Amino acid sequence: MIDLTEKIAVVTGGAQGIGKAVAETLARQGANVIVADLQLEKATAVAEEITTNTGNKAIAIQVDVSNAESAQAMIDAAIAEFDRVDILVNNAGITRDNLIMRMSEDEFDLVININLKGAFNCTKAIIRKMMKQRSGTIINMASVSGVTGQAGQTNYSSSKAGLIGFTKALAKEVGSRGITVNAVAPGFIETALTVDLPEDIKEMGIKLTPLGKFGQVQDVANAVAFLASDEASFITGEVLTVDGGLVM
């Protein structure tokens, strides 16, 4: 059984979807959790629910991961509350899908700034502390779109492919300090981002997935919990696809 007792975990984008499932799962495994999100009211509700259901401490912190000062303030607040951070899950992300001929510069920049630079900002804010601890684990939420590319997602695919490169480079930088860095790459997962997809797109996704169905947020959360645990202490620089076999 995965045991994260007394671990301190920061989950960005933790107010809903995959991030919420990750925060809840880490707490069920014993961790105290910082639910970090731009939407403070939703994050607070999630934190209160986690505390009620698990008995572990959970707090909400508002953050704009695309802003370096905001990311640093989030980490500073987490350390002030718990004195350390053991697990950072860079989950915050958005989509602004469009064909490149129609994609605006703002649509491209916004996705890159949140999905990729956001992970940089949050990681930079905590990495010195983890290096002094000589321990820690960072888990970046990539996507199969960053592995294979996806039409209509040059911005999103670029951000997630960049995040995979970021993961591998950082793993080499900090491995000697006892810090692991990995990525999780979900495939078609039932979330708010996929619920409104046209039916033909959903059917295509199911057809392309060997297991013949969409995944659930819990499937992704379970993978994150494993990578955050001591059971994965000798795994670093890896990309774990949670995709029902979509890109094998």
Question: What are the catalytic residues?
Answer: 156
Residue from 225, 222, 227 nearest 239 by CA: 227
Q: Who's near 132: CB < 8 A, 6+ residues apart?
A: none
Beta strands in the chain (DSSP E): 8-12, 32-37, 58-62, 87-90, 136-141, 179-186, 239-242
Bridge partners of residue 98, in order along the sequence: 153
The H or E element containing residue 169 is helix 154-174
Residues 34 and 62: their CA atoms lie apart, in Å, by: 10
Nearest to 108 by CA among 97, 93, 92, 119: 97
Are the beta carbons of 191 and 148 closer than 8 angstroms?
Answer: no
Q: How far apart are CA 23 and CA 42, in angstroms?
A: 13
CB neighbourhood size of 175 (10 A):
13
In angstroms, rounded to a whole number, what is the distance separating the alpha carbons of residues 56 and 29?
Answer: 10
